[in-house]
Amino acid sequence: MRRTLPETSVSEGIPMPIYGCCFLDKDGQTLRTEAFRACDDLDARREAMTRMTRVGRFSGYELWVEGRKVVAHGPVKNTPPVTQRK
């Protein structure tokens, strides 16, 4: 059974925005896209992280709402930090 989020916030009675989530592979290429409703950016980030870890084959995600990029989350790169030369 697929879980569905409500269309409105229970406490406020206003429509919740639809967030778009692009799940990425290790090269940053989109493997899957999903849309879901969330109360705010923080709630949407939690939902995206939950969905990403549930599947286990994604390396990151980009989260969007109404044309605005909320966050890009990806793996830590295994490259040494850049140091300044004197």
Rounded Cα distance, 33 and 81, in Å = 32
Q: What is the pLDDT of residues 27-59, one digit of tens each?
A: 889 999 999 999 999 999 999 999 999 988 899
| pLDDT tier for residue 1 given thresholds of 50, 70 and 90 | very low
What is the percent of the chain where pLDDT is above 70? 72
Amino acid at 64: W
Phi, psi of 48 (to 5 degrees): -65, -45
Q: What are the extents of the domains in the chain? A: 18-73
Q: How far is CA 73 from CA 4, 15, 21, 48, 59, in A?
A: 24, 26, 11, 10, 9
